[in-house]
């Protein structure tokens, strides 16, 4: 099962949450939050763990979903 990484609006900007993180990350801009989430997903995939990034809009609707399959050559 893929590790879930979510990008959602927060009180002060945008947050990135995942079980792969010790604490949530906060960004002023949604684009930066999404970039950080996708970078984390790429790193997880490179280490052999599938990851899924879900991006949510301010109204709670899902704006996007990005799958990052585990790389077979990861050790």
DSSP character at residue 17: E
Cα atoms in the Cβ-side hemisphere of radius 13 Å centred on 6: 13
CB 24 within 8 A of CB 17: yes
d(CA 28, CA 44): 24
Local confidence band at 74 (pLDDT 50, 70, 90 cut-offs): very low
pLDDT recorded at residue 73: 66
d(CA 72, CA 22): 26
Check whether 54 has a pLDDT greater than 90. yes
Q: What is the pLDDT of residues 4-47, one digit of tens each?
A: 999 999 999 999 999 999 999 999 999 999 999 999 999 999 99
């Amino acid at each position: 099962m893929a590790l879930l990484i979510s990008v959602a609006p927060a009180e002060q900007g945008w947050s990135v949450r995942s079980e792969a993180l010790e604490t949530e990350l906060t960004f002023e801009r949604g684009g930066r939050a999404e970039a950080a989430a996708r970078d984390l997903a790429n790193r997880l995939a490179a280490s052999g763990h599938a990851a899924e990034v879900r991006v949510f809009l301010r109204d709670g609707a899902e704006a996007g979903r990005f799958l990052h399959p585990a790389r077979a050559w990861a050790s």
